[in-house]
Structure formats: structure tokens, C-alpha cells
Structure 1
Amino acid sequence: MAAVMIVEGEAFFQNIRMSGKAALEKAGLFHIVLEAKEGLALINDTQTSTVLVLVGLFHSYRALCGGLLSGALTIDTVIGSTAPFHPDIHILRSHYG
């Protein structure tokens, strides 16, 4: 990622592998000109941390989708009614949740 920001290396843009310069141009972005110590800041392992956070986020999203799907299928399997989920019923209750 840092290499592409300074017009080096290669990148994937819309699933096509291309040079960093071409990827920046197609994305409508400009390259950066680094000052003293900025290059070090780009490669100080923040990319690894970002990747790990994103992997966790995507796994969490998949787990959430699976939970929603299994809940919906459970209600459908027992021929459940959606009437208890109507918003008006929850508005009339004196408590939240």
C-alpha cells in the first residue's frame, strides 16, 4: 500500500493488476511526496494492524449474517408469525426491548 502511494509497486484496481501509477490515476488520486521520516511512518507495521482489524471485521460481519439467517430460518421453520415483531406492538409497551 505504501509503495503505491509513492508511485511504486503494483496494485489491484477493480480486480485488474496494474502499476501503482496507473492504479492511482484510474482511482483519481495523486501520489504523495514524502518528507523526512514519513517513509518510515508508512512502513512501521500499521498495515499489519489494519489488515488484522479488517479480517476480524469481515469475520464478525459473516457471523452476524449467519446469525440473522439462522434466526429467520428458525422462525420460518416453526411457521412463526411476524405479527409479534410489528412496530406498533412495541410502541404500546411501556418498556424497551
Structure 2
Amino acid sequence: MNGQKNTLKPKQNLAFNGEGEYKPGDWCRFCRASVECRARAEENLKVAKFEFKKPPLLTDVEIAEILLHVNDLTKWANEIFAYATNAAVQQGKQWTGF
């Protein structure tokens, strides 16, 4: 628990204030800014922007690469959806196109 107080909390505060080093990973689940974090978004969107090579069928190597990231991508997308839904319901936030 001391590790969280002495390591995670200060790094979380830096991130939330737009300071420090942004390096997405499993630890993002502890951060209050994880849903709005641009570094995390860019990391997850790399999978979404995956350049598929010809022929049109994915190779086993490409599928394996996607599988390495799909859980994080799905979790992040669900967190964004929950954040946006909460902001719409609780604060009246209107999202363009929704």
C-alpha cells in the first residue's frame, strides 16, 4: 500500500495536471485521468489504425498482434462510453453526432 501512496499517487497527480511522463500500460486503471489521457488514446488507436496488407485476409501474425491489444482496446472503449454517458446524464453534456 505504501508503494501506491509513494509512487502511483504522485505520478497520477502529475498526469492529471498535464505533467510528467505519459506511458500507457496496465497501471492506467489506477489513474483518474485515464479516460481522457491522450497518450492512452493514441496507444489504443494504433490497433484501430492497423494497416492491413494485401491480400485482403489477415495473416496469423497480424491476428496475433491484434489479439495482444484487443482486451486493452475493448476496455478503453467501454471506459470512454461510460465516461461520455455519465457526462451526458449527470452534466447534460452533448456529444456531436450522438
TM class by smaller structure: 0.3 to 0.5
Q: TM-score, normalised by structure 1?
A: 0.32
TM-score normalised by length of structure 2: 0.32
Looking at secondary structure, tell me which structure has more helix per residue. Answer: 2
- Structure with larger Rg: 1
Higher relative contact order (CA 8 A, sep 6+): 2
